[in-house]
Amino acid sequence: MKIKFSALCLLTVLFTVSSLSESASMQGERRGVAQAVSVQALPIIPGISGFGTTTTAGMGPNREGGTVVHITTLANSGSGSLKSVLEDSTGPTIIVCDVSGTIVQNGVIAVTNPYMTLALQTCPSPGLSVQNATLSIQTNNILLHHYRGRVGDAAGAPSFGERDCINIVDQGNTGEVYNIVIANTSCSWALDGTIDLNFLKIRPVDITIWQSIISEGLRNAGHPEPDHSSGMLLGIDTKNVSIIRSLFSSNWIRNPAVNSGVHLAIVNSATTNYGQEAINVGFSGNSATQTPQLVTLAGNLYVKGNDARSIAEPLRVQLGVAAGTQIYFEDVCDADVADPSDDAWLTSAVDDRAGFNVKATTPPVTYPGYAPASCTTVRADITANAGARPNDRDSQDTNVITKFNDLTAPLTEKIPQDMADTEGYPVLAENTVVAEVPDNPFAIARGGPNKGYSYIEVWLHGLDAALDRQSLSVLKNDNSYILRNDGFKIRRNN
């Protein structure tokens, strides 16, 4: 069944807390610690779906809670810096933000502590932007929410050949990298991959990219390989990845590239102004070394742009794909293909010697808990809901979304060669507003629409919906009231 959706309406319904009734058995929650409750498989963000989205992230493995830490400085190291809170925290951690502005990182931030939530919807307007940085996730049960990476080609670290915006990597083949959610994230101007997933062979990784913008990989800005404007690479045997309600914009290649053995679902997403190809299945190797790729494409939008209209292919299937490779697609919106429902949409040659047809009749990879909407809704949905802080966008995301909605021909988008070929780094105001975390942050709601979530999660969900912390009444030192996300205090039933 196909449905139309409005994320803001859905979240408003979920987060309006008319009452969290409290019985005598709940009195212990006022001590500010999580109480022993059975762990429910709740989505980490209400309304989100896909692989790994029931991670408990910063709440810890049993929703027992942990530590709340604050980003307090725009410095690229030291106490209160983004690098420090991500690299030095131990145990379950929820990271909130007291500052807005730009962090010039000049290096890699390595996330190795499991069970962490980076909640950048808590930053004061206009939020954070991180330059010259690769955020490297090397662990499990991570929620990255409202991150904004503007990488760039400035000299120094990270090295040009490895300067991703985000990479998810299990370099040591430990099998400990899984359950990762990247939600409402914006990444631009990477030199290597914008978001890359590598060395994830040991186990299904259960990763979802949700309502995110992956844009304008730099084409010739110092990477050792030419034309390396790259959206996303899924490394060999990366299994259980879902990309939902997201936008690939103005990347020459890899939107994404699907390597040997990858299992992937792309749903209600858009790829616009792609260069050589949008999706590349059978990215490397030959049939002797490859294992089957399983790919499901449902309700997606593809729009060619200026840069490569004569050669761009929405789906490139390499000759070397392994027997057993399956690609399922339905409900494709592509103005350049007269009948996307037939085999003509498989635009590249497939190795006839293999004696198989890659087109599947049923989805080989499902998308847990998600009912796709029509591809005709994708443009409006992404415009309203994708990227970091969609109600408070920086100039780069504003430009990307404006061009995405330019229906004139030819499109006004372009794939930049280097930073001189872009409209420049956004200038963000530097503000400080201390994030006023609710009292008893890890106490668990025992009833109502927020049942099972902690008080801090309900607060974060409200900020995610509104992206306006000033509109919320944050309770401090008053346990006779609870918070409703529309800003009203509701007296407890005692």
Sheet holding 241-244, edge to edge: 67-71, 93-97, 116-119, 142-145, 180-183, 207-210, 241-244, 263-267, 294-298, 326-330
Closest CA to 145 of 373, 378, 372, 390: 390
Six-digit token pair at 28?
A: 């212990």
pTM summary value: 0.87
The pLDDT value given to residue 354: 58
- What does each of the 494 residues of the chain score in pLDDT, given as a tens digit? 333 323 333 333 333 333 322 332 222 222 234 443 445 589 999 999 999 999 999 999 999 999 999 999 999 999 999 999 999 999 999 999 999 999 999 999 999 999 999 999 999 999 999 999 999 999 999 999 999 999 999 988 788 888 999 999 998 889 999 999 999 999 999 999 999 999 898 899 999 999 999 999 999 998 989 888 999 999 999 999 999 999 999 999 999 999 999 999 999 999 999 988 899 998 765 555 789 999 999 999 998 887 776 777 888 888 778 889 999 989 988 877 766 665 666 655 555 555 678 889 999 999 888 999 999 999 999 999 999 999 999 999 999 999 999 877 556 678 999 999 999 999 999 999 999 999 999 999 988 889 999 999 999 999 998 763 333 333 233 333 344 333 333 333 33
Do 335 and 305 touch, CB atoms closer than 8 A?
A: no
Which residue, chain included where needed, has tokens 């609710």? 438
> In the prediction, which pLDDT does 12 show?
38
* Residues sharing a CB contact under 8 Å with residue 11, sequence separation 6 or more, in sequence order: 46, 47, 461, 464, 465
Burial 217-243 (b: 16+ CB within 10 A, else e): bbbbbebeeeebbbbbbbbbbbbbbbb
What is residue 345's predicted lDDT score, i.e. its pLDDT? Answer: 65
Q: According to the model, what pLDDT value does residue 319 have? A: 76
- Gyration radius from the chain CA atoms: 22
* Separation of alpha carbons 337 and 35, rounded Å: 56
Query: Which tokens hold the place of 386?
Result: 């994708």
pLDDT of residue 368: 82
Per-residue pLDDT at 284: 66
